[in-house]
Amino acid sequence: MRAVCVYCGSNDGTNPGYRAAARALGAEIANRGLRLVYGGARNGLMGAVADGALAAGGQVTGIIPHALVAWEQAHPDLSEQLVVDSMRARKQAMADRADGFIALPGGIGTLEEIFEMISWAQLGVHHKPCAFLDVEGYWDPLIRFLDYSVEVGLTRSGTRKMLLTDSDHKRLLTRMDNYRSPVTHRWLDAAQT
187: confidence class by pLDDT, cuts 50, 70, 90: low
Mean pLDDT of 104-121: 96
CA distance linking residue 131 with residue 134, whole number of Å:
9
CA distance linking residue 137 with residue 74, whole number of Å:
29
3.40.50.450, 1.10.287.3510, 3.40.50.300, 3.60.20.10: CATH of 3-177: 3.40.50.450
pLDDT at 120: 93
The pLDDT of residue 189 is above 90: no
27: confidence class by pLDDT, cuts 50, 70, 90: very high
What is the overall mean pLDDT for the chain? 93
Tens digits of per-residue pLDDT, 35-91? 999 999 999 999 999 999 999 999 999 999 998 887 768 899 999 999 999 999 999
Mean pLDDT of 156-175: 94
130: confidence class by pLDDT, cuts 50, 70, 90: very high
Strand ranges across the sheet with 35-38: 80-84, 60-65, 35-38, 3-7, 101-103, 130-133, 163-166
CA-nearest of 107, 123, 119, 125 to 190 is: 125
Q: What percent of the chain has pLDDT over 90?
A: 83
Tens digits of per-residue pLDDT, 3-22? 999 999 999 999 999 999 99
CA distance linking residue 72 with residue 32, whole number of Å:
28
Side-chain half-sphere of 185: how many Cα atoms within 13 Å? Answer: 1
Q: Domain-by-domain residue ranges, the chain?
A: 3-177
